[in-house]
Amino acid sequence: MPKTALFPGSFDPFTLGHEDIVRRALPLFDELYIGIGENQDKRYQFTLDERVRMVEGFYADEPRIHVVSYRGLTVDFARQLGVDFLLRGIRNPSDFEFEKAIAQANRQLVPELDTVFLLTTARYAYISSSIVRDVLRHHGDASVFLPDGLQLP
Instruction: List residues binding ligand ADP (CB under 6 A).
Output: 9-11, 15, 17-18, 21, 88-91, 95, 120, 124, 127-129
Helix (H) or strand (E) holding 31: strand 31-38
Are the C-beta atoms of residues 34 and 69 closer than 8 Å to each other? no
Catalytic residue among 10, 18, 51, 88: 18
Closest approach, Cβ 10 to ligand ADP, in A, equals: 4
Helix (H) or strand (E) holding 7: strand 4-9
Q: Catalytic: 91?
A: yes
Catalytic residue among 3, 23, 42, 133: 42
Q: Which is nearer to ligand ADP, 17 or 78 (CB)?
A: 17
Q: Which is nearer to ligand ADP, 4 or 7 (CB)?
A: 7
Q: Which is nearer to ligand ADP, 1 or 143 (CB)?
A: 143
Are the C-beta atoms of residues 5 and 34 closer than 8 Å to each other? no
18: nearest Cα among 79, 88, 78, 113: 88
Catalytic residue among 10, 51, 88, 129: 129
The closest residue (CB) to ligand ADP is 17
**122: exposed, middle or buried (C-beta count within 10 Å: 0-12, 13-18, 19+)?**
exposed
Kindly list the catalytic residues: 18, 42, 91, 129
